[in-house]
Structure 1
Amino acid sequence: MADAASQVLLGSGLTILSQPFVYVKVLIQVGFEPLPPTIGRNIFGRQVCQLPGLFCYAQHIASIDGRRGLFTGLTPRLCSGVLGTVVHGKVLQHYQECDKPEDSGSGNIQKEGSSSFDRVIKETTREMIARSAATVITHPFHVITLRSMIQFIGREAKYCGLCDSIATIYREEGVLGFFAGLIPRLLGDIISLWLCNSLAYLVNTYALDSGVSTMNEMKSYSQAVTGFFASMLTYPFVLVSNLMAVNNCGLAGGSPPYSPIYTSWIDCWCMLQKEGNMSRGNSLFFRKVPFGKTYCCDLRMLI
């Protein structure tokens, strides 16, 4: 019980601290660029035309809504985090209780096979079920969070309170409105989890020497690296999920001319891929001007 409470408190603290970053990221993902590009330098020192980064974007939001405005959408995101942590923990606890009778009778056998690929498949499957259950249950709060954030674009006040937002979605879209963008989000989580655990297993088993004294530390590093690599590969699923969650929801940020109306998440994926925007919002610091956008950014003015 104490572990669950500490996880909830830690998760809530991280959610509060990361809220301004998430807010800016969501606005960038939907394609809202209120600031003109500037002249900067890339890693090779060459002058390039780039869009303002995280801090400039956050400063722009604060200049309009104040510093408190950077925490728009925090309440439903906190609810999502707390509920997701509880559900995830309950599902894994259920599996642990089911394993207790087996552990008492075959402790030695399980120790010998604990590092096998079968063990990895078993643990990954359980983690997948736990994460999927938490994602499905908390997705309505995720939808409310995104929609309350993109109200900044059209200066609307349609999704303000949590209860009012729930009533609005149910009245206009029915139950399915709470699960807009769920499929690509689930697919991204599942693919990312399997990629991360499979790559970590391969690295720990075949690339690392078991005689190294700091083996446990090296394995934890490999888990982090493979997790980062897997999240980069599955980022398009996150982008498509967020766009579908706000698509045609009655807000300016989810409707033309800001955003086209997508018929399905596959249509959204194909359109983003055609435009070359599958990584939009992935970077918050070194942001290139998207292909096809026309901005007045003449490098000759600085020569």
Structure 2
Amino acid sequence: MADTCGQVLLGSGLTVLSHPLMYIKVLVQVGHEPLPPSLGRNLFGRQVYQLPGLFAYAKHIIKIDGKVGLFNGLAPRLCAGTIGTLVHSSVLQRCQDAGKYEVSRTSQKAEEGSLQHVVNETTKEMIARSCATIVTHPFHVITLRCMVQFIGRETKYSGVFDSIVTVYKNEGVLGFFAGLIPRLLGDILSLWICNMLAHLVNTYAIDDSMSHTGEIKNCAQAGTGFFASMLTYPFVLVSNLMAVNDCGLAGGLPPYASIYPTWVDCWRHLSLEGNMSRGNSLFFRKLPVGKTYAIDQKRFF
């Protein structure tokens, strides 16, 4: 119990610190570009037009809403983090207990570090994460909609409880789970890719006789996690767009977004436009040639 409380407190602190970053990322994912591009240089020294980065975007938000404005949507996100940690811990513990019972019944235990052990542990983690994601997704939807209100200056989603009532009145129960499927798929794929790649690296690329083996394995785990998150980023983007799609906010309607019947349609549309990585980077944001942006409707070449 003490470990769970510690995880909740640590997670809450990290959530508060990282919230402005997520806020800006969501606005970029939706396609909100309120600032004109500027002429800069890329890594090779060539002059290119670049879209405003993290700090310029943050200054724009502060100018309009003050520093407090960087924390729009924080309350429902904290709720999601706290509930998610509790659910994840509880489900994972049950899976671990079930695994111990199965081992005692069959007297067969997978050797630690073996492929079977990695598969067993990843399966347990997948179940725990999926349960936490499903339970907390309504708060995730509210968080995103509170953020996207910045675009049209709406106040439709003003608090956790009021937002719950608003979603239920307008969309029913299904509204709380908008964008859930691509989010689940992305989480599951990311977890399996990360753990399988880490197992391959630890087994075939790292020798246990090497010095600092533990640190190297931790770095390998972090590296494979980053690689997996890059591969599955389109699922995150599509999930967030579907969560605000046609919800009555300016950020979920044309010209920012088309009205997507399903998340597959959203995926296809982004793919055709070449926007599958939109919002993946908040620095060095190169201006795509010929793109039209929703705020000023100008084309930059």
TM-score by length of 2: 0.95
Q: Per-residue CA shift, 1:40-72, capped at 9, x if unaligned?
A: 111111111000000000100000000000000
- Specify the code of the residue in structure 1 equivalent to 2:42: N
Q: CA deviation at 1:97?
A: 2.3
Equivalenced residues, count: 296
Matches within 5 A, 1:209-248: 209-248=207-246
Partner of 1:45: 45
CA shift, 1:104, in A, is 6.6
The 5 Å alignment of 1:1-303 reads 1-101=1-101, 110=109, 113-294=111-292
Structure 1: distance between partners of 2:211 and 2:152 = 57
* CA displacement, residues 257-283 of structure 1 (integer Å, 9 cap, x when unaligned): 222111110000000000000000000
In structure 1, the residue corresponding to 2:265 is in which secondary structure? Answer: helix
How far off is 1:296 after superposition? 6.6
Q: Secondary structure, in 3 states, of the residue corresponding to 1:283?
A: coil
Deviates more, 1:77-86 or 1:254-263: 254-263
Cα displacement string for residues 81-135 of structure 1 (whole angstroms, at most 9, x for unaligned residues): 000000000011112223445667899x64x711111111111111000000000
What CA distance in whole angstroms lies between the structure 1 residues aligned with 2:288 and 2:136?
32
**For 1:60 and 1:45, how far apart are their aligned partners in 2?**
27
Partners of 1:133 and 1:102 lie apart in 2 by 22
Deviation string for 1:211-257 (max 9, x for gaps)? 11321211111100000000000000000000000000000000112
For 1:67 and 1:210, the matched residues in 2 are separated by 49
Task: Specify the code of the residue in structure 2 equivalent to 1:148.
Answer: C
Structure 1, residues 115-174: CA drift from partner, whole Å, max 9, x if none?
Answer: 111111111111000000000000000000000100000000000111110001100100
Q: Are the equivalent residues in 2 in contact too, given 1:247–1:261 (CA < 8 A)? A: yes
Tell me whether 134-143 or 284-293 shows the greater mean CA deviation: 284-293
Alignment partners' CA distance in 2, 1:90 and 1:217 = 29
Structure 1 residue 210, shift from structure 2 partner: 1.8
User: How many angstroms apart in 1 are the aligned matches of 2:248 and 2:143?
Assistant: 15
AA aligned opposite 2:286: K
Amino-acid identity (%): 68
Question: RMSD between aligned alpha carbons?
Answer: 1.6
CA contact 1:40–1:50 (8 Å) conserved in 2: yes
User: Hey, what's the Cα distance between the residues in 2 that align with 1:36 and 1:70?
Assistant: 20
Find the aligned partners of 1:158 and 1:286 in 2 and give their Cα distance.
33
The whole-number CA distance in structure 2 between the counterparts of 1:168 and 1:81 is 22
* Contact 1:77-1:145 at 8 Å conserved across structures: yes
Deviation at 1:293, TM superposition (A): 1.6
Instruction: Deviation per CA, 1:183-208: give whole Å up to 9, x if none.
Output: 00000000000000000000000111
SS in 1 for 2:254: coil
Task: Report the residue type matching 1:19 in the other structure.
Answer: H
SS at match of 1:150: helix
In structure 2, distance between residues paired with 1:75 and 1:197: 32
1:136 counterpart letter in structure 2: I
Separation in structure 2 between the aligned mates of residue 139 and residue 286 of structure 1, nearest angstrom: 31
Cα deviation, residue 15, structure 1? 0.2
Q: State whether residues 96 and 124 of structure 2, in contact with CA within 8 Å, keep that contact through their aligned partners in structure 1.
A: no
- Segments of 5+ residues of structure 1 without an aligned counterpart are 299-303
**Cα pair 2:62 2:70 within 8 Å, conserved:** yes
